[in-house]
Chains A and B, each alone.
Chain A
């Protein structure tokens, strides 16, 4: 248990489905992140939230829609995904951006398979 909880751990969805990934932390962190990890590719930063405000969107397709209702919760809403979106989606949290000597705390990830 790392302090960052992601649900579900595994998700299989059809290309026409709508689903959501959830991330929760109670570490008192105020920055949260979504990463995508595909086989044989580097980690890809998708979205960053600082104090509930989105501060980074790395040209992510609109079929991925993040939501951060408070500093403890982060969602990734998925709709009309493609098979190439199959990957491990990792959530992370940290102290605010100006505290550079702090690393990130990661969740265990959601393994997404799009069929």
Chain B
């Protein structure tokens, strides 16, 4: 079956540092890939998505590129802020199937 693996946290960074959260997946066919963010006390919000190989999703300074050859969708941001502190979930969805989530990675950004 489909699965998503992401790095365990917490990831602790200083403000303005570069962020990478790794995500790899296993799936048949050509899934769509997503990153969700969950701020404290809230539900999950869609951060960005990519629907085919080599697509780059971007939003709020975050980027992720759909790499089919390495089955990866790593999340990056050039300069994190304290307000980016949250839990980040990588996910995939195959046609006819439900969203499959990774375990989540907590990011803590210190001033």
Whether, in the assembled complex, A34 has its beta carbon less than 8 Å from a beta carbon of chain B, the answer is: no
Known contacts A103-B49, A103-B93; decide if A43 and B43 are in contact (CB<8 Å). Answer: no
Overall SS of chain B's interface: loop
Is B42 a contact of A109 with CB atoms below 8 Å?
Answer: yes
Residue-by-residue, is B18-49 near A (CB-CB < 8 Å gives 1, otherwise 0)? 00000000000001101010000111111001
Is A100's CB under 8 angstroms from B43's CB? no
Contact B91 A103 (CB under 8 A): yes
Chain A hits for B95, CB < 8 A: 98, 100
Give bound CA distance, A103 to B101, whole Å.
Answer: 11
Q: Is A107 an interface residue when CB atoms closer than 8 A count as contact?
A: yes
Asked whether B45 lies within 8 Å of A106 as measured between CB atoms, the reply is yes
Contacts of B101 in A (CB 8 A): 42-43
Known interface pairs A42-B104, A43-B89, A43-B101; A100-B96 also in contact (CB < 8 Å): yes
CA distance A43 to B46 in the complex (A): 15
Does A97 sit at the interface, judged by CB under 8 A? Answer: yes
Measured between beta carbons, the chain B residues less than 8 angstroms from A48 are 98
B97 within 8 Å of A (CB atoms): yes
List 18 interface pairs A-B (beta carbons < 8 Å), by A numbering: A2-B45, A4-B43, A42-B101, A42-B102, A42-B103, A42-B104, A43-B89, A43-B104, A94-B99, A100-B31, A100-B32, A100-B93, A102-B32, A104-B44, A104-B46, A104-B99, A107-B43, A109-B42
